[in-house]
Every structure is written in structure tokens, then in C-alpha cells.
Amino acid sequence: MGGTTAPRGTGGRLYIVATPIGNLEDLTFRALKVLESVSAVACEDTRRTLKLLNRYNLKKRLISYYRPREMEKLPQIMNLLEQGGDVALVSDAGTPGISDPGFPLIREALSRGIEVIPIPGASAVTAALSAAGLPTHRFLFLGFPPVKKTASRKWLAALEEEEGTAVVYLPPRKLFSFLDLIGEVLGERELVVARELTKLHEEFLRGTAAELKARLESGTVKGEVTLLIGGKKTRRG
């Protein structure tokens, strides 16, 4: 690895490998070298990971590692690591463990003295923040909101005095109802909807909840949405 990691211990190493969030060319050179060298790849969806590996002509042993069955695969992965095999953990897109599977495996590896090495790369959070045009001196990544409306309302209410930019992930089917909820709870905050990041139809839409809903209602929203909510100081009026 050209001196980019600490010396090997007695066991294998667990690499946390960020993968492209859309454009397959966003895989880093370092990530490619790691994927070439490891004994196995623990992945959220073997079909998605196989597509990435095929793009770079890599043939690797794949271990399915996904919610809610993460704990079932821990013994298999830990056994491989403790026998000296290196394992790359990847998710369907972006960085493992960031609203994706990974936390239980990483904690278990650390508890057993296995070296855990991050291989940074594509991230919807930082990609959206970098081009949104909202303040970035302070931001909060909140992941996916609660499923129930009552819980989501309380979740949003906690942001009323927050001055940083909040970043939320949303499935497209929930965007309209969530925009309504933002309008009700937080008022006319500056919002940015980032869709299809790094893909052909990448789009950034800016405005209040009411303005965005008016613009989006005429079409179909596709692809996971990264929604940015301006802090208290971005309130209009």
C-alpha cells in the first residue's frame, strides 16, 4: 500500500472502503488497490458490488452483510480476519456505516484488536454540502428521519434553534410529505434538494418548502434525495 497504512499486526485488516454514489469513475486509486488486494469483500448488496467490481475487472469473494442481519455474518467475517485475511467493507454507495451497515462489524473488530483502516472517498453528505450554497462552518448529519409522522415532527422541532445546516436522507416517495412537515415545524427555512448526485441527471433545487414542492409536483422524483435544511439564521421573513 506504499506506506499509506500502519504495519500489519498478527491478524488481518478491516478496510472501510467508500464506493461511488453514482458515477463509477469516482472510485479512488487507493480504494481500487485495496479491493484488488483483499481476501474478501463484505457488501450490502452483492449485485451492486459485483457491478462495481466488474467495471474494474476484479474477481473477489463476496460476503453479504446487510441490515437487519448484520450480526449473523459477524462470525464468518471475524474468523477470516483473525486468520490473517484482509477484508474490505463496502456499502451500496458512499461510506460504510454512514446510514449504512458497518457499525457492529467495526466495533467487534476493534474489540478484538483488529486494525480498522478508513479508505475515504465519495459521500453524498459532503458532495451535497459542497455545492448547496448553505453555510458549512457547522452542519449536522441526521440520516433518515423517523418513519412515523409524529416522531418526525418532534425530530424536526429539535432543529428550531439550530444554526448549522442539517443534512437528511430521504426516499423519493417521502419528499413531498416531509417538505410539508418542514414548513409546518420550521417555517420558511432555506432548503436544498440534491438528487441523482454524480449521475447524468444530477440536480440541485433551492427554495423554501412551499417553493420546492411547487417545482417538484409537476414531475416524478427519482433516486435517493439528500435534503439540506438551512439553520435558524436562514429563516425568511
Condensed to tens digits (0 to 9), the pLDDT of residues 76-127 reads 999 999 999 999 999 999 999 998 999 999 999 999 999 999 999 999 999 9
What is the pLDDT, as a whole number, of residue 68? Answer: 87
Q: Are residues 171 and 91 in the same domain?
A: no
Domain count, the chain: 2
What is the pLDDT, as a whole number, of residue 235? Answer: 67
pLDDT for 8 beyond 50: no
Dihedral Cα 222, 200, 194, 51, nearest 10 deg: 70
Of 60, 95, 119, the residue that ends a domain is 119
Q: Are residues 115 and 128 in the same domain?
A: no
Q: Are residues 153 and 211 in the same domain?
A: yes
Of 119, 144, 176, the residue that ends a domain is 119
Q: Are residues 227 and 129 in the same domain?
A: yes
The predicted model gives 1-12 an average pLDDT of 53
**Residues 12-36: pLDDT tens digits?**
999 999 999 999 999 999 999 999 9
CATH (domain of 65): 3.40.1010.10
This model's pTM is above 0.85? yes
Q: Are residues 87 and 128 in the same domain?
A: no
Q: Are residues 115 and 34 in the same domain?
A: yes
- C-alpha span between 102 and 133 (Å, rounded): 31
Residue 7 binned pLDDT confidence (cut-offs 50, 70, 90): very low
Three-state SS string over 141-170 comes to: EEECCCCCHHHHHHHHHCCCCCCCEEEEEE
Is residue 146 domain-resident?
A: yes
What is the pLDDT, as a whole number, of residue 233? Answer: 79
The predicted model gives 202-206 an average pLDDT of 94
- C-alpha span between 3 and 91 (Å, rounded): 26
Q: Determine the structural domain holding residue 201 and report its residue range.
A: 124-234
What is the pLDDT, as a whole number, of residue 221? Answer: 80
CATH (domain of 226): 3.30.950.10
Is residue 102 domain-resident?
A: yes
Q: What is the mean pLDDT of the chain?
A: 92
Residue 236 binned pLDDT confidence (cut-offs 50, 70, 90): low
Q: Are residues 45 and 71 in the same domain?
A: yes
pLDDT for 66 beyond 90: yes
H-type alpha helices, 38-121: 46-55, 70-82, 103-111
- C-alpha span between 154 and 85 (Å, rounded): 45
Q: Are residues 36 and 104 in the same domain?
A: yes
Pairing mode, strands 61-64 and 40-43:
parallel
Query: Residue with C-alpha cell 441490515?
Result: 67
Is residue 142 domain-resident?
A: yes
Of 119, 151, 173, the residue that ends a domain is 119
Is residue 6 domain-resident?
A: no
What is the pLDDT, as a whole number, of residue 2? Answer: 44
Q: Are residues 148 and 111 in the same domain?
A: no
Residue 10 binned pLDDT confidence (cut-offs 50, 70, 90): low
Q: Are residues 96 and 168 in the same domain?
A: no
Q: Which residues pair with 42 in a beta bridge?
A: 63, 89
**Residues 151-175: pLDDT tens digits?**
999 999 999 999 999 999 999 999 9
Q: Are residues 71 and 104 in the same domain?
A: yes
